[in-house]
Amino acid sequence: MNIPRLVTAVLIAATYGSTVHASVSAEEAAKLGTTLTVFGADAAASADGQIPAYTGGVTKAPAESKLNSGKWFDPFAGEKPILTITAQNWQEYSDKLSESSKELFKRFPDYKMMVYPTHRSASFPDWYGENCKINAVQAKLTNGGQDIEGAFGCIPFPIAKTGEEALWNYIMRFVGTRQKNFVNTWLMDSSGNPVLTGSFKSSIYFPYYDPTLGRDGFKKSDGVWYQVMNDYAAPARLKGETSLFWDYTASSRDWPGWSYSPGQRRTRVAPDLAYDTPNPGYSGVITMDDIQLMYGKLDRWKVKMLGTKEMYIPYNGYKWQYATSDKDMLTPHFPNANLIRWELHRVRVLELTLKPGARHLYSKKILYTDEDLGGGMMDAYDQAGKLYRGGFADTVPAYDAQVPYSLGNWFFDFNSGVYLLGSHPADTSGIFFNVDFPNGFFTPERMQSTGIR
């Protein structure tokens, strides 16, 4: 190492420390699969039994299911609500509600939450659990919490010790290895008029979760853990547009993105599609890093883990996700509350505050993430500290694929009075796992060659 590089390395180590947290002890890791689930959640039931113990989730498809159909039948279809929270009684349950949920009750007298029995339905393949135990003792954060080393095939930090570790776990939660999904996204304006903001196909590959690549193969790669290509079919202004993103296990490096425009007939680098850039597929109503509540780099945020608490979150929403048309979900002011299922779950509460000197539309973001690695909720605050946006990501496991999938979501903009219904597949061909992609599929060259002319 030459002298300038040595000095730089010393300065970086002094500023950040070489490691924020370097794995857990073998004794702590031994809790995985015993008092903790293999992925680090509390395996026990809640004190009052409302949240059951984790027993492996749902792994058997109901008899009514049509496998490989792109849709999943509700394994809890016969259940009835055990509680209805309304604008008249929500304060009795305020300790279990996000600030965005409270705001909806305050604004809309007809808003309600139908609460059902809790099911910890997420299940995982065997190789996932095996990798969790390895990650627990090998994975570590470097560069001030921005980069991950030594992780593969499970959330990086099954026994998270810091806010950064817990947030990386949420961003990198398992949603399959290869998939294609076909979804619609709608905006409901403040006057109650629905507008289709996007109808698109997403092709997705997670090298980080590819058991055929393996831990050694991923270690030898360039660290791309996630690749996604989105092809827009509607609305007319977006038809033919394609976007491609590569995400790394390091926030300290550039994450490349490309977009293809049929009007220009060329592919260009898209460095602006990150952070608080308005998301084009959601008509700009949410930011790019609002995707699935939190997406992208962490370098602009200071992350604090506030603890674990019991909250009502959307869960097992098979009915609204796969069996309810767009038009039936799009009621004025909020998605059809009669069709959304809520359950009581333990969540990890994370507080993201903007670092001094960093730029972002939000000053703070609170995330409530499911302990069993599904979806959750978010509250986002503007620069004046006022609640700005709220988000909800449902957890709808694909039991036959053993994927705790969380795709459907909705967002509220409390300033403009609009909401978004995102990633809804009921009126499309649906979601497919274990698909094959040819070599070179996730490249800008292929995107250019297959673009609409």
> Would you list the domain boundaries of the chain?
83-450
For residue 231, is it left (φ>0), alpha (ψ between -120 and 50) or beta? beta
Residues 6+ apart with CB under 8 A from 133: 29, 32, 33, 38, 158
Q: Which of 453, 434, 428, 446 lies closest to 68 in space, CA to CA?
A: 434
What's the CA gap between 3 and 362, in Å, rounded? 40
Rounded Cα gap, residues 406 and 175, in angstroms: 7
DSSP one-letter string for 140-200: EEETTTTEEES--SS-S-SS--SHHHHHHHHHT----SEEEEEEEEEEE-TTS-EEEEEEE
Instruction: Give the CA radius of gyration of the chain.
Output: 21
Three-class SS of residue 291?
A: helix
Beta bridge partners of 304: 351
User: What pLDDT score was predicted for residue 452?
Assistant: 55
Indicate the residue type of 177: T
d(CA 162, CA 191): 43
**For the chain, what percentages of helix, strand and coil (3-state, to nearest 5) are there?**
20, 30, 50
Give the pLDDT of the chain (453 residues) as one tens digit per residue. Answer: 333 333 333 333 333 334 445 579 989 999 999 999 999 999 999 999 999 999 999 998 898 888 889 999 999 999 999 999 999 999 999 999 999 999 999 999 999 999 999 999 999 999 999 999 999 999 999 998 889 999 999 999 999 999 999 999 999 999 999 999 999 999 999 999 999 999 999 999 999 999 999 999 999 999 999 999 999 998 888 888 999 999 999 988 888 889 898 888 888 887 677 899 998 878 889 999 999 999 999 999 999 999 999 999 999 999 999 999 999 999 999 999 999 999 999 999 999 999 999 999 999 999 999 999 999 999 999 999 999 999 999 999 999 999 998 889 999 999 999 999 999 999 999 999 989 999 999 999 988 877 654
Q: What pLDDT sits at residue 95?
A: 98
Reported as half-sphere exposure (CB side, CA atoms, 13 A), residue 115 has a value of: 18
Nearest to 112 by CA among 339, 356, 382, 374: 339
Q: What pLDDT sits at residue 251? A: 84
* Inter-CA distances, 133 with 30, 35, 218, 367, 409, Å: 8, 14, 17, 26, 31
Residue 67: predicted pLDDT: 84
User: Tokens 């903790």 correspond to what residue?
Assistant: 36
- Please give the DSSP secondary-structure letter assigned to residue 355: P
At residue 359, what is the residue type?
A: R
Which has the closest alpha carbon to 111: 379, 319, 332, 315? 332
What is the per-residue pLDDT for 127?
97
Quote the pTM value.
Answer: 0.92
Helices (H), 286-436: 318-322, 326-329
**Amino acid identity for residue 116 in this structure:** Y
For residues 66-80, b (16+ Cβ closer than 10 Å) or e, as one string?
eeeebbbbbbbeeee
Q: In whole angstroms, what is the distance from residue 204 CA to residue 214 CA?
A: 18
Neighbour count for residue 96 (Cβ, 10 Å): 19
Q: How far apart are the first and last CA of the chain?
A: 50
Is 83-450 in CATH node 2.50.20.10? yes
